[in-house]
Amino acid sequence: MGYKKIFLVRHGQTTMNVKGIYQGRVNSDLTSLGIQQTKGVGKYIHSKEIVFKDIYCSTSPRAIDTCKLIIETMGKNAVKTVKYDNRLVEMDFGIFEGQSIELCKTNYPHTYYDLYHHPQDYAPLGDGETVQQVIDRVSHFLSDLKNDEHKDAENVLVVTHGVIIRAIFYCLLHRKIEDFWIDEDIPSSSLTILSKDDNRAYRIDELFITCH
């Protein structure tokens, strides 16, 4: 069982993205470019005449705004229900939250290095999450997604965040935690499509499509 195709969208560009600041659980508004990017995703989906039984979305405001813009652009008839799930919120970066990436790299070099080079050993400063904790909650979400699916639904759309998309890759593509960051940076409002092959295993059909 399982949806034949999973469409993953990272939220649109935000003001903190532009400034190079860790967002995580804090939020910032979509920029005008972020809004334009997101509408491009909706237009692309509409042009392909793709219909979703369900959309699952992070409860973060920037993801919700992205989701609403996509629905408005592709047309309400393209989706039946939208479900908001806090297991899809971005990683909690602890003390890094709200600080510039460059400042964290300078002030906390060992922690910063472990996050991106030894994710299996990363220990957040403050009340943040480990990479494994993020993987665990995403794994629970995917398990529920499989159980809650509609038998007549082939496509599902998930609107979320960069680290969560990497965790989905880890779970569905059976990667090692050491390879958590192996993919290039995930562009804002990019669309990735995973589909099942003949062996009922997921593979990447399209990676980080930008429709803007």
Strands 79-84 and 52-57: parallel
Which pair of tokens denotes residue 96?
């890094």
Q: Is 11 a catalytic residue?
A: yes
Q: Is 212 a catalytic residue?
A: no
Q: Which of 46, 90, 129, 154 is catalytic?
A: 90
**Shortest CA distance to 52 belongs to which of 19, 76, 21?**
76
What is the distance of C-alpha 212 from the center of its chain?
Answer: 18
CA distances from 179 to 45, 89, 119 (A): 30, 21, 9
Which pair of tokens denotes residue 28?
């910032």
Residue identified by tokens 């909650």 is: 137
CB 175 within 8 A of CB 71: no
Which pair of tokens denotes residue 101?
């990436």
Residues placed in the known binding site for substrate = 10-17, 62
Q: Which residues are identified as catalytic? A: 11, 90
